[in-house]
Structure 1
Amino acid sequence: MTSSVAIAPGKWAFITGGSDGLGFAFAVELARRGMNCLLIARNEDKLARAAEAVRALGVEARTLSLDLGAADAVARIEAATADLPLALAVFNAGAEASGVPFVDQPYNHWAATIQRNVLFLTEALHHFGRRLVEAGGGGLIVVGSEAAFGGVGQSGIYTATKGFALNLCEALWVELAPRGVDVVTLLFKIADTPMLRQTLARRRIPVEATGASDPAALARGTIDALGAGPIYNPDEVSPDDPVTSNAARRERVVAKSELMKFFYG
């Protein structure tokens, strides 16, 4: 089990995309460890059902119906957590399933994805990173994707935004660890979520044929990896692989960061 100060019974976590799928799996796992949860998503009915299930595990649960693409999304999360002893923030929203080439989609569509996956995430990490430092410690979990490792046709904006998140969070892992805040990015190939099942159903593909990971296992492994980042990737090729391996990425981030200290003085 993790020894991170972010996992503290009686304290609070918020989870974006927390009404179902992987986000709900994080909420359930955190509740089993004694943490209270603020579930954030758009659908109020799904949120209510998810919160009831979390409360059944013996903790408190609140909900916030919110579109993360809204300009005031971070401010609204701050207001919803102002009275809470917040110890952990889980960012689990940012899917992009259009499958349309970049120039064939109106730019406003891509702008909305960038707002949610890049601008919201960046502002939120800055705001809640500072809040956790001032509170004496905590944790930040970002649900990423192996899409971050390179561009893919019909998924250019999605892969680009996931690459941005991965780079930023690896930097934050180095910068915030000495200040008591653990950062870890979850990377995985594919997860068995309601959105995946809906997409597969349109093509009559059984989810079992995809090798999709169990959301509960992904959530549990990521929480256990707090304090041992910068990434958690259950699909790593080998411990020595420079792209997929946690150990290899950690070594690179540390070495490059030390070089920056020398460069900047």
Structure 2
Amino acid sequence: MCTLHANMENYFLNSLTCQPIWVLVLFTVGSISVSKCFLSFLYRVYVNFLRPAKNLKKYGSWALVTAPTDGIGKAFAFELARNGLNLVLVGRNPDKLKDVSDSIRAKYSEILIKNIVMDFCGDLDEGVKRIQEAIEGLDVGILINNVGISYPYARYFHEVDERLMMNLIKINMEGTTKVTHAVLPGMLKRNKGAIVNIGSAAANICHSPLYSVYAATKSYVDRFSRCLYDEYKKSGIDVQSQVPLYVATKMASIRNSLFFVPSSDDYARAGLRSIGYEPRCTPYWTHSLYWKLIHSCPESAIDEWRLRVGLKIRERGQLKDAMKKKL
């Protein structure tokens, strides 16, 4: 048996050495490419299904979540409470904040919760002042910057009214920046913390025609996060830009989850498992798969496809606006 195995090896080696040099080069390059793809696949399996989550309490006993009354923010709040963290919830509507707080307390009675009313379209400085006062003396170890808005529906840039344009910039960029600026000093004093900024695939995976201002603001969030990661990684603070694709939320106008569209609860669970690792990530596994598929296609084809989809969304949105005006 050993002799047969040795003969087979010799035959294989002799066959290779008899080939032209270009065949050997192609074989080598192909082998390396296949190996890289296989190792990448194994790594993604490990990251998405096998890698252990960090102990979030090591960052601190409190977590602050912006826009926690619906969608991803609400799901993050519940998941953080399930992990035993007390919560500071920052939102615009006091009634909705109370409803979320009551629901969390009903399920996790030991969790302490502070509600802060802050309108990110309004006076940001006054809102940030309320945050600073509320977290004074608290061990806030995790910040989830989830607040953000998008277009009501796709539209060309010249169709974006000034109010929407300014709100996109103020909420997505200025709001995220100022809340981070308010919470970060406490983390520095304790030499520990985690900051998660929720970005968007619109800014990272592909171009987003008909959503230009939204995509640009989310690109800022991603770059801001990556810079903070480099600035503070030696100070015990993990900064991460999370880049979700579509999630079944009101903001995305998607009611039911699908294979490539997780529920907000499923996304939040994946999002928490990713905290403390890469500076940028796409936490949900089908989103990560979709990202790979998109990047395997020509960019021009993806841009054209995105434009066609956007035009259909724009057409439906305009029809709804027209019907509302008639009523």
Same fold (TM over 0.5): yes
CA contact (8 A) 1:42 1:66 kept: yes
Q: Which residue of 2 aligns with 1:154?
A: 210
* Cα 1:169–1:9 shift into 2, 3 Å: closer
User: Hey, what does 1:13 align to over in structure 2?
Assistant: 63
Q: Distance in 2 between matches of 1:240 and 1:207?
A: 24
Alignment check: 8 A CA contact 2:62 2:142 kept: yes
Q: Which stretch of the first structure deviates more once superposed, 207-216 or 184-193? A: 207-216
1:115 CA drift (Å): 1.0
Answer with 234-243 or 155-164: which moved more: 234-243
**Match for 1:48 among 74, 95, 98?**
98
Match of 1:71 among 124, 137, 161: 124
Secondary structure at the aligned position of 2:63 is classed as strand
Are the structure 2 counterparts of residues 243 and 71 from structure 1 closer, same or farther at C-alpha, using a change threshold of 3 Å? farther
Match of 2:200 among 136, 145, 149: 145
In structure 2, relative to structure 1, the CA distance for the partners of 1:158 and 1:32 (3 Å cut) is: same
Q: Which amino acid letter does the alignment assign opposite residue 60 of structure 1? A: L
Post-superposition Cα deviations, 1:107-153, rounded to whole Å, max 9, x if no partner, equal 23211210111122122223322331122211101111111124422
Q: How does 1:22-33 map to 2 (within 5 A)?
A: 22-33=72-83
Q: Pairwise CA RMSD of aligned residues? A: 2.6
| Unmatched segments (≥5 aa) in structure 1 | 201-205, 245-265
Question: Structure 2, unaligned stretches of length 5 or more?
Answer: 1-51, 297-327
1:178 is matched by which residue type in structure 2?
Answer: K
TM-score (norm 1): 0.80
Corresponding residue number in structure 1 for 2:41: none
The Cα shift of 1:238 comes to 8.5
Map 1:132-211 onto structure 2 (within 5 A).
132-149=187-204, 150-196=206-252, 199-200=253-254, 207-208=256-257, 211=260
Aligned position for 2:141: 87
- Structure 1 counterpart of 2:157, which letter? F
**Which of the two has higher C-alpha Rg?**
2
Q: Distance in 2 between matches of 1:193 and 1:109?
A: 20
Equivalent residue number for residue 253 of structure 1: none
Q: Does 1:229 align with 2:278?
A: yes
Alpha-carbon distance in 1 for matches of 2:292, 2:235? 29
Shift of 1:242: 11
* CA deviation after TM superposition for structure 1 residue 208, in Å: 4.7
Deviates more, 1:183-192 or 1:127-136: 127-136
Greater fraction of residues in helix:
2
- Deviation by residue 1:180-238 (Cα, 9 ceiling, x = unmatched): 00112221111112333xx35xxxxx635684212122212222212212122132249
User: Against the structure 1 CA distance between its residues 7 and 232, is the aligned structure 2 distance closer, same or farther, given a 3 Å change threshold?
Assistant: farther
CA shift, 1:26, in A, is 0.6
Give the stretch that moved more between structures: 12-21 or 232-241.
232-241
- Give 1:250's aligned residue: none
* 1:60 is aligned to 2:115: no
Paired-residue identity, %: 25
CA gap 1:77/1:131 in 2 versus in 1, 3 angstroms: same
User: Aligned residue for 2:29?
Assistant: none
Shift of 1:81: 1.4
> Secondary structure at the residue paired with 1:123?
helix
**Cα deviation per residue 1:156-192 (whole Å; 9 max; x = unaligned)?**
1100011111111112122211100011222111111
Matches within 5 A, 1:210-221: 211-221=260-270
- Structure of greater relative contact order (alpha carbons < 8 Å, 6+ residues apart): 1
Query: Which residue is equivalent to 1:129?
Result: 184
Whole-Å separation in 2 of the counterparts to 1:209 and 1:11: 34
User: d(CA) in 1 for partners of 2:251 and 2:219?
Assistant: 21
Cα distance change on mapping 1:166 and 1:242 into 2, 3 Å? farther
